[in-house]
């Protein structure tokens, strides 16, 4: 009886010993990682899941191990060694952080200009940024949410684009949910498109609901919008719209020739522009012109609008 009990204890001890050795071996197994990884805000499990998508060979059990070690740093982390022991890599996540710089997307700016800006500031290849954007972006324009982004100094063009699109997509979904809408619906696309016209035309945030009302009023009356801002798309973001440009531009963005809104946004839009698009001021305005003080002067009749134009040019 005693011998049988001893054999059982030895068997249990052997299992425990094998488990301990296996666990130690697992802790010191090799983890292969990209040089730059991103840790999102949220739980440890979310961090591990995100790293798995980045190609790091981690498993769910690593989340439990990481919880005992500490809280991983959030944001971009520079991994000095492409191959590390598992325990070393998990510990590194709690202590290391990549050197990064801020890149700001201004509301109303086009993606063409923003990509060019990032190429210059981060020493990236402009053509590769465009290729990555065309590969991953859902729309030609209006995918990014304007704000300041923290970007690591060493990052590939494709990884940067995917990160910015993912972060913007999350923010856009939250915005759409505020208005009980789906951010991938046709209705939301129309709202963002209208917002982009408002963003280009408004003289200030307080001006946006009035520009929004003019857009609605002109569309209801079957009038063309005839707004210069719609021609400030892409590479033409900061160019003055001339009579010659209006005559020669044959794209759907030309609201002097085409009725209604453009088919797609003309720039990246702010939350304020979206709010104005959804909540326009209640007016009967059909026209506006920028006055001498930089603010718009509105009118409901062309005769009044013509007088306002004359006064603005005096």
Based on the number of CB atoms within 10 Å of its own CB, is 14 exposed (0-12), middle (13-18) or buried (19 or more)? Answer: exposed
Q: Quick one: average pLDDT of 226-249?
A: 95
Confirm if 105 and 168 have CB atoms less than 8 A apart: no
The H-or-E segment that residue 132 falls in is helix 126-136
Please report, for residues 98, 215, 275, 301, the alpha-carbon distance to residue 209 in angstroms, rounded to integers and kept in the order given. 42, 10, 8, 19
Confirm if 109 and 145 have CB atoms less than 8 A apart: no
CA atoms within a 13 Å half-sphere pointing along the CA-CB vector of 49:
7
pLDDT at 166: 92
For residue 312, is pLDDT > 90? no
Closest CA to 146 of 174, 176, 114, 116: 114
Quote the DSSP letter at residue 262.
-
If you average pLDDT over every residue of the chain, what do you get? 91
Q: Residue 155: left (phi > 0), alpha (psi -120 to 50), or beta?
A: beta
pLDDT at 1: 55
pLDDT digits (tens, 9 = 90+) for 263-300: 999 999 999 999 999 999 999 999 999 988 888 999 99
The whole model's pTM is what? 0.79
Rounded Cα distance between 237 and 112, Å, is: 9
Tokens (6 digits) for 302: 């062309």
pLDDT at 97: 73
Closest CA to 52 of 24, 70, 31, 69: 31
Phi, psi (rounded to 5 degrees) for 90: -65, -40
For residue 224, is pLDDT > 90? yes
pLDDT at 136: 96
Q: Considering only 53-57, 178-182, 225-229, 270-274, which range has the smallest mean pLDDT?
A: 53-57
Confirm if 233 and 241 have CB atoms less than 8 A apart: no
The H-or-E segment that residue 192 falls in is helix 186-201
The H-or-E segment that residue 167 falls in is helix 157-178
pLDDT digits (tens, 9 = 90+) for 14-40: 788 888 888 899 889 999 998 888 888
pLDDT digits (tens, 9 = 90+) for 1-15: 556 666 777 777 778
Confirm if 122 and 160 have CB atoms less than 8 A apart: yes
Longest dimension (CA), the chain: 112
pLDDT at 182: 94
Confirm if 208 and 198 have CB atoms less than 8 A apart: yes
pLDDT digits (tens, 9 = 90+) for 83-139: 999 999 999 988 887 678 888 999 999 999 999 999 998 889 999 999 999 999 999
pLDDT digits (tens, 9 = 90+) for 176-217: 999 999 999 999 999 999 999 999 999 999 999 999 999 999
pLDDT at 111: 97
For residue 79, is pLDDT > 90? no
Based on the number of CB atoms within 10 Å of its own CB, is 41 exposed (0-12), middle (13-18) or buried (19 or more)? Answer: exposed
User: What 3-state class would DSSP assign to 283?
Assistant: coil
């Amino acid at each position: 009886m005693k011998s049988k009990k001893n054999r059982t204890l030895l068997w249990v001890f052997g299992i425990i010993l094998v488990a301990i050795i296996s666990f130690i071996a697992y802790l010191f197994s090799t983890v292969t990682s990209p040089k730059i990884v991103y840790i999102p805000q949220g739980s440890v499990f979310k961090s591990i899941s995100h790293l798995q998508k980045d190609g790091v060979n981690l498993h769910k059990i690593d989340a439990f191990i990481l919880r005992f070690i500490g809280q991983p740093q959030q944001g971009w982390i520079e991994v000095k060694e492409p191959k590390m022991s598992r325990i070393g890599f998990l510990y590194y996540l709690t202590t290391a952080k990549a050197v990064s710089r801020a890149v700001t997307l201004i509301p109303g700016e086009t993606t063409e200009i923003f990509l060019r800006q990032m190429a210059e500031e981060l020493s990236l290849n402009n053509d590769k940024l465009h290729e990555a954007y065309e590969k991953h972006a859902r729309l030609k324009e209006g995918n990014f949410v304007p704000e300041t982004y923290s970007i690591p100094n060493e990052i590939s063009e494709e990884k940067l684009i995917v990160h910015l699109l993912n972060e913007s997509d999350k923010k856009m979904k939250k915005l759409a949910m505020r208005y009980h809408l789906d951010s991938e619906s046709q209705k939301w696309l129309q709202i963002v498109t209208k917002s982009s016209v408002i963003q280009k035309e408004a003289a200030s945030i307080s001006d946006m609901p009035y520009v929004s009302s003019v857009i609605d009023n002109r569309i209801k009356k079957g009038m063309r919008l005839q707004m210069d801002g719609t021609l400030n798309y892409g590479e033409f973001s900061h160019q003055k719209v001339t009579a010659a440009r209006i005559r020669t531009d044959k794209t759907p963005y030309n609201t002097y020739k085409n009725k209604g809104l453009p088919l797609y946004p003309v720039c990246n839009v702010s939350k304020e522009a979206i709010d104005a698009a959804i909540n326009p001021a209640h007016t009967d305005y059909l026209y506006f012109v920028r006055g001498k003080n930089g603010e718009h002067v509105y009118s409901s009749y062309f005769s009044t609008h013509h007088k306002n134009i004359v006064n603005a040019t005096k």
